[in-house]
């Protein structure tokens, strides 16, 4: 039983040390300001919209191209 108490005390000491070191590290961290977060969020939203429209247009283009190729093949050789 005393050995278990020693192990528990040692583990509590390790947990306490971990929490202390974590607090010290968090004090060194520099978090972005609210305006920085807003600015990068706007950039991300604009990029997402741009790429969504771009990929939509590319998809439509290839749909028309493949439909045209299919129409030409069907016109030349008929539906098999």
How far apart, in whole angstroms, are the C-alpha atoms of residue 32 and residue 65? 47
Position 9 scores a pLDDT of 66
Alpha helices by DSSP H, listed for the chain, are 2-28, 34-77
How far apart, in whole angstroms, are the C-alpha atoms of residue 1 and residue 5? 7
Position 4 scores a pLDDT of 62
The ranges assigned to domains in the chain are 2-77
Q: In which residue are the tokens 């030409």 written?
A: 72
Enter the tokens of residue 45.
Answer: 């939203």
How far apart, in whole angstroms, are the C-alpha atoms of residue 77 and residue 59? 27
pLDDT along the chain (80 residues), means of 10: 62 86 93 95 98 98 97 84
């Amino acid at each position: 039983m005393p050995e278990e108490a020693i192990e528990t005390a040692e583990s509590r000491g390790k947990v306490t040390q971990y929490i202390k070191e974590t607090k010290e590290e968090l004090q060194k961290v520099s978090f972005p300001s609210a305006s920085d977060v807003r600015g990068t969020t706007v950039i991300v939203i604009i990029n997402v919209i741009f790429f969504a429209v771009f990929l939509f247009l590319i998809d439509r283009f290839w749909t028309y191209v493949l439909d045209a190729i299919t129409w030409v093949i069907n016109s030349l050789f008929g539906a098999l």
